[in-house]
Structure 1
Amino acid sequence: MLTTVLSFIVSMSVYILFLFLFLEYTREKQSFYKWFFILALATLPLWFYNLDSWFRWAKSFSVLIPICFVSFVRISNDGSHKDVMMSLKKKWPLWILYLVLNLNILEATMHDFEVGNIFNAICGLILCITIPLPTKHWRIGKNDGKNSFAELIADLPLAWCLLYVTWNAAFVYGENTTFVASSICILIAPEIWMLVKRRTDLWLMGRIYTLAIHILIRASYDIFTPLMDSTLWFNESVLYYWGLVNLILHGGYLIYWALKLMNKPYVIKHSAEAYGY
């Protein structure tokens, strides 16, 4: 038993460290993130040996193709490509990324409904409803005078990010418990990364890059089952109550979000009156 626990601790810690370093590299090295995921699509023939359901195929395409798009959006906004891909400097690419985030949540939500994980499925819908719109809350970081990392920045509330983590972990627990341990790693790594950077607005970029490398590895070759097989973690009661707790937490957040939204016109009106507008 102790040996098994130590095995999980070591393998998960090493994977989290790898993901953290991967995030650092994809944040700073344009020559790396520019080509890595395009070349990664060349692994497509291997996917036929490792993907066994519509969900896994849909997830692989809906993560790896958009990450290539993210790379070119970042490059077009790095301050050194003034005459290249000018249209990617506008707002519409951020709407595309917003829709992709919704799509990825809805894919998992559909699967939750299919397998009867209803509580967690409703949580997925709540997450989609409460995502801040790109109009004000999403942008590509500009050159700060020293660096031009062109980060994807999204002002997602910390509460939303944490709810996403517990929702996604519960989804994986019900979808394929074998990969729960490795999925926990890709959920924890962005949290650690943004805390180290002291910037919650980097969570989304951390999430999409860790998810992309994880999906690529799973689609190409299964290294996770030999190293951190968590199949025995599954328990039907745990899945049920995890989904129920998630629904309570997400439902509370939805109420908070709705009240804040309804209160916004009141705040704007009275702020304007206070300044004599």
Structure 2
Amino acid sequence: MTPLNRWAVWRAAVALAWLLAGTALAAQLPEQGTRDNYDLGTYQILLEGVPGTGGLSYHIVFNRGGSVYIEKKFNGENLAETHSWTREGDQLRILPVQGGVINDFDQATLSVLDQDNIAVSLNVPGESLKLMEKDTEFTLYRWYEFQAKAHILLTLIFLVALNELFRLVKWSGFAFFVGLSLLLTVFVWPYQGVAYWFKWAKIYSVVSASVFFLLMRFTPLHKYTFAKLFCVGFLALNIAEAVAQDFTMGFTPNLLNGVAGVLSILTCYYGWKGIKADDSPQKDMVWPKMTALWIIAYDVWNFVYVYLNFPASASAQLMVIVAATIPALFIKEGTWLQARAYTLAAWFMFYFTFTEFYERNLWIFPRTDVLTYSLALLSLVLNIACVVQLWEFRKQRLARQQPAAA
């Protein structure tokens, strides 16, 4: 093994050690606002709405004085309300509020399983709340603030380290995306409770793309036009899927971000003919003409998409997004698409393998109308800037051609 390869393996090992150590430490520390201040503490859950409505999250704080604070983020709404709660043995009840905006728990049965889990049955049809029927019964997970935030931040470190490992050690990518994914497909993923077909389609599409990009790097595949078109098509299709979701939601911030996504598709093709495996020892798949502005505009658009449609996942997805941008802008220019596929596929594999751990340790960002409109406008402005940039590139190219024609 070369010194570079040993260095890559060492960095990946250190990142993994930090992840495990941080999680273990977090589990031992009391978080602010639970054990000392509240009777039951803070709980939350991420659920799936019916197609087209995005993800639903509840963040619930049971106060010792008999009040319970409920935050609900779903389908463009950001609701918060204080109710009363009662307890008899292990049975809880969240009392209705006359004229309240959150009535999801008015008929619900809540049973304390242990200090970290509360079983919930809403006792209403899923369609009445725009929920998948399977999600009318679920478990509220105790939320530990330090552990959740450590999990999210360490996700970034771990993904950046993995990307470097896949760059510097040739066999590691094939072992991870082919060997490990096949083993997990057979022995782990079917038993993690992931039912939504789109998530299954997503994981196998990004894992397959990662394998394809490995072949682009280490075989003559990168010389063929159809292979380069596949790279552009993969990127455009992934953007289009999100744009469709934004337009389906139909709220003004979603529509603004949807238009930004359309502009991202229209500008993503720039320089695609230059996609290749470079001559470096790592044989990186590079897209030399992909601009930093386009990458940043894409990052903002993608984050806003998740923030609007799946708010509970926004913090984790921000780390996944940034994990591809850091190496592309600061470690090896031109490698963004390669890094995006590797980090996204690795994160999906983590999610499918440790689904409950992930859902227990979500850090739900605050969301208000001011934030949603501001971020959606920023996304649109940045993607308009990409259109302007391409127009300037075209003018410069035509200007260079005119003297030659004369």
Q: TM-score, normalised by structure 2?
A: 0.58
| From 148, 169, 174, the counterpart of 2:308 | 174
Deviation at 1:9, TM superposition (A): 4.8
Deviation at 1:25, TM superposition (A): 0.7
Query: What is the aligned partner in structure 2 of residue 206 from structure 1?
Result: 339
> Could you tell me how far apart the structure 2 residues matched to 1:232 and 1:205 are?
28
The alignment-based identity, stated in percent, is: 20
* Count of residue correspondences: 258
Query: What is the aligned partner in structure 2 of residue 254 from structure 1?
Result: 387
Deviation at 1:118, TM superposition (A): 0.9
> Could you tell me how far apart the structure 2 residues matched to 1:48 and 1:111 are?
28
Deviation at 1:16, TM superposition (A): 1.6
Residue deviations 1:208-240 (CA, integer Å, cap 9, x gap):
11111112222333232222x133523344223
Contact 2:275 2:286 in 1 (8 A): yes
Alpha carbon RMSD of aligned pairs, Å?
Answer: 2.6
Bigger helix fraction: 1
Deviation at 1:171, TM superposition (A): 0.8
Is the aligned partner of 1:125 residue 2:265? no
Show the 5 A alignment for 1:1-277. Answer: 7=147, 9-39=149-179, 40-44=181-185, 46=189, 49-77=192-220, 89-116=223-250, 117-133=254-270, 135-142=272-279, 144=280, 147=281, 149-155=282-288, 156-197=290-331, 199-222=332-355, 223-227=357-361, 229-231=362-364, 233-270=366-403, 272=404
Q: Higher relative contact order at CA 8 Å, sep ≥6: structure 1 or structure 2?
A: 1
Residue deviations 1:141-167 (CA, integer Å, cap 9, x gap):
12x4xx2x2211012100000001111
Which ranges in structure 2 are unaligned for 5 or more consecutive residues?
Answer: 1-30, 34-143
Residue 230 of structure 1 aligns with an amino acid whose one-letter code is W
Deviation at 1:35, TM superposition (A): 2.9
> Could you tell me how far apart the structure 1 residues matched to 2:193 and 2:274 are?
37
Q: Which has the larger radius of gyration?
A: 2
> Could you tell me how far apart the structure 1 residues matched to 2:145 and 2:234 are?
36
Deviation at 1:131, TM superposition (A): 1.4
Residue 224 of structure 1 aligns with an amino acid whose one-letter code is Y
Change (3 A) 1:102 1:195: closer
Deviation at 1:52, TM superposition (A): 4.3
Deviation at 1:48, TM superposition (A): 7.0
Residue 239 of structure 1 aligns with an amino acid whose one-letter code is T
Contact 1:119 1:243 in 2 (8 A): yes
Change (3 A) 1:172 1:152: same
Q: What is the DSSP-based 3-state SS (H/G/I as helix, E as strand, rest coil) of the residue aligned with 1:150?
A: coil
Contact 2:232 2:272 in 1 (8 A): no
Q: TM-score, normalised by structure 1?
A: 0.82
> Could you tell me how far apart the structure 2 residues matched to 1:191 and 1:249 are?
16
> Could you tell me how far apart the structure 2 residues matched to 1:72 and 1:99 are?
17
Contact 1:122 1:247 in 2 (8 A): yes
